[in-house]
Structure 1
Amino acid sequence: MSRTKPIHYLIVVIFAIAFMGLMRSRALKQNNSFVDGSANELILEKESHFKNLQQLTFSGENAEAYFSSDSKKLIFQSHDGEGMCDQIYIMDLETGATERVSNGQGVTTCPYFQYPNNEKVVYASTHLEDKDCPTPPDFSRGYVWKLYEGYDIFRSNLDGSNLEQITNEKGYDAEATVAEDGSKIVYTSISSGDLEVWTMNSDGSDKRMLTNKLGYDGGPFFSHDGNKIVWRAYYPETEKEISDYTSL
């Protein structure tokens, strides 16, 4: 199953990824050494929010980048080469060292540090259902996010060891982020039959569905105090919109 997301969402995500991937003062090449990666030429003349824009990655496709709570590390998904699937990497923003976290099997997405101590990470992976790279979506239909049924949420140490499965429901479980105190995880799941926002304890217990409306609910984040969440949503309204959405 896949979902075609609205154009306004696509623009926001691309903008966010560019910002997260380009905002440090040095850049990483494949030999794990930082060089001058100034990208200030990409800043629009009237832009007032960005300065000192820097490039961190120079090859492949790199996305979904998030800081550790101390801003010393960056976790992201990346693949380099045809036929390869996204895997999870951690970059040390002081030394430039980059190490793969995931095991190289299946496809992975949506990594996040386990706050507050950053000793573990969470991400989604299909490796238990199929160790091979799954068939990519049909991009001739526009921007399509593939909802691979094998996606479940996992947690591991920073080096990938002590991998533990947190969700095991049938269907897509991904897009997990962690509350700042580390007690809760909020994520997107299709286990109810539609894409909804859920929460659970950090050990995977007490799963609760927070949304219940036809359409896409996903990409959730906790507020700093953990009392609120923000998420993306698309709710089809007309008969055609509903038909197009449910046929995906």
Structure 2
Amino acid sequence: MKLRGIYLVIFALIIVSCKTAKKDKTDAESGATKIVNVKHYPKEIHLKNVTQLTFGGDNAEAYWSFDGTKITFQSNTKEWGLACDQIFMMNADEVLSDGKRPQLISTGKGRTTCSYFLPGDTSIVYSSTHLSGEACPPAPKKEDHGGKYIWPVYSSFDIFVADLKGNITKQLTNEPGYDAEPTVSPKGDKIVFTSTRSGDLELFTMNIDGSDVKQITHELGYDGGAFFSPDGTKLIFRSSRPKTPEAIKEYKDLLAQGLVMPTEMELYTCNVDGTDLKKITDLGSANWAPFFYPNGKKVIFSSNHHKAKHDGFNLFMINLDGTGLEQITFDGVFDAFPMFSPDGKKLIFSSNRNNNGTHDTNLFVADWVE
């Protein structure tokens, strides 16, 4: 799920300013307007020809096909008749104007997340709760947890393979508990995913057919949102690492209820077998949604560490040794889920920009400028 929906906590913090700010109201740290009727900000020097692909609802986690011509993404857009996230596919250069709905390639039942093309681009892997019921599983309420931002880890999530018409062709996981967040190696040989099968939220790998499952991480904390390096030899992921007795107790108590509080996370890398584990950020707050730069020597990710009130996310880039931090996007609200196209020429991401002050999260694609 890669923290799908973490931007909701931002809305709770800035909804008043979104409704009342004027176009010349600027964010003190990013320089961006609060009313985000802008597609491209002057400081975004690495982005060119920014194009908005979706208009309305919550659209996120857009991932390219191996040939770079298509994307899959998840959406809960009510105008498309959705009560919670389902998986869609469209051409990478398609603009969904006038309420056009793209092709649904999940079942339309339960809640889904984290779709990714498999080699050959004729099928996808994704996570779904539909085996436990057709309805959307209930979302936790902040008021039940002292107003803290809480994210559900549904034990009914399993990982499936489907063709591009939405027909499920295989179930890859059937262990009790949460199995989700699958992504595929550029080599086409492995899938990495997050599971609670060990009693904690850890990373695992498996072959494309679901065989040879191996546990990759072993430390207490939520390991997730993993992606392979361009050469398929390394993983980048985000993790919480509770250390104090109080933090450990809170983490374990929430996990026992199928919940996590994903507000303190840093980025880690390791080899695909789990060796050479390294922490590459120490920024504080929430650092997540990482993806490797095409040369494999940097990662792009989303963070709110630079915000005094942690009330907004922008994209940043950093070297694998933790040096060279650079801010990439500059809107005042939310940017996340960045992914480079297979040829490295384009970047797709989700953003609250250009939404007329609503809560809409849309997909944007841009040419990447070195």
Same fold (TM over 0.5): yes
Question: Counterpart in 2 of 1:20?
Answer: none
Following superposition, the deviation at residue 139 of structure 1 comes to 4.2
What are the within-5 Å matches in structure 2 for residues 155-174 of structure 1? 155-174=161-180
Question: Counterpart in 2 of 1:29?
Answer: none
* Change beyond 3 A, Cα 1:174–1:52: same
* Change beyond 3 A, Cα 1:242–1:129: same
Distance in 2 (CA, whole Å) between partners of 1:95 and 1:216 is 35
Q: Is the counterpart of residue 60 in structure 1 residue 63 in structure 2?
A: no
Question: Counterpart in 2 of 1:88?
Answer: 87
Question: Counterpart in 1 of 2:44?
Answer: 47
* Change beyond 3 A, Cα 1:235–1:136: same
Question: Counterpart in 1 of 2:203?
Answer: 197
Describe the superposition over 1:145-203 as per-residue Cα deviations: whole angstroms up to 9, x where unpaired.
31111000000111112431000011110000011132110000011110000000111
Q: Is the counterpart of residue 127 in structure 1 residue 126 in structure 2?
A: no
Q: Is the counterpart of residue 245 in structure 1 residue 248 in structure 2?
A: no
Give the fraction of aligned pairs with identical amino acids, expressed as a percent. 47
The amino acid across from 2:83 in the alignment is M
* Structure 1 counterpart of 2:103, from 96, 99, 106: 99
Count of residue pairs the alignment pairs up:
214
Following superposition, the deviation at residue 129 of structure 1 comes to 1.4
What are the within-5 Å matches in structure 2 for residues 1-248 of structure 1? 41-81=38-78, 84-94=83-93, 98-115=102-119, 117-140=120-143, 141-248=147-254
The amino acid across from 2:116 in the alignment is Y
Describe the superposition over 1:99-143 as per-residue Cα deviations: whole angstroms up to 9, x where unpaired.
00011111100111113x111100000111122111112245444
Q: Is residue 64–residue 92 contact of structure 2 (8 Å, CA) maintained in 1?
A: no
> Where does structure 1 lack aligned partners over 5 or more consecutive residues?
15-38
Following superposition, the deviation at residue 62 of structure 1 comes to 0.9
* Change beyond 3 A, Cα 1:102–1:49: same
Following superposition, the deviation at residue 51 of structure 1 comes to 2.2
The farther-off stretch of 135-144 and 226-235 is: 135-144
Distance in 2 (CA, whole Å) between partners of 1:239 and 1:52 is 49
The amino acid across from 1:245 in the alignment is Y
Distance in 1 (CA, whole Å) between partners of 2:251 and 2:199 is 13
Distance in 2 (CA, whole Å) between partners of 1:143 and 1:131 is 26
The farther-off stretch of 59-68 and 132-141 is: 132-141
Distance in 2 (CA, whole Å) between partners of 1:139 and 1:105 is 25
What SS is found at the alignment partner of 1:232?
Answer: strand
User: Which protein has greater RCO, CA pairs closer than 8 Å, 6+ apart?
Assistant: 2
The amino acid across from 1:171 in the alignment is G
How big is the alpha-carbon RMSD for the aligned residues of Structure 1 and Structure 2?
A: 2.3
Q: Is residue 39–residue 51 contact of structure 2 (8 Å, CA) maintained in 1?
A: no
The amino acid across from 1:212 in the alignment is H
What SS is found at the alignment partner of 1:187?
Answer: strand
The amino acid across from 1:48 in the alignment is I
Describe the superposition over 1:42-76 as per-residue Cα deviations: whole angstroms up to 9, x where unpaired.
43332322222221111221111111122211100
Question: Counterpart in 1 of 2:343?
Answer: none
Distance in 1 (CA, whole Å) between partners of 2:168 and 2:247 is 44
Distance in 2 (CA, whole Å) between partners of 1:125 and 1:233 is 22
Following superposition, the deviation at residue 231 of structure 1 comes to 0.9
For the pair shown, the structure with the greater C-alpha radius of gyration is: 2
What is the TM-score with the length of structure 2 in the denominator?
0.54
The amino acid across from 1:79 in the alignment is N
Q: Is residue 110–residue 124 contact of structure 1 (8 Å, CA) maintained in 2?
A: yes
Distance in 1 (CA, whole Å) between partners of 2:142 and 2:88 is 25
Distance in 2 (CA, whole Å) between partners of 1:142 and 1:214 is 21
Following superposition, the deviation at residue 85 of structure 1 comes to 1.3
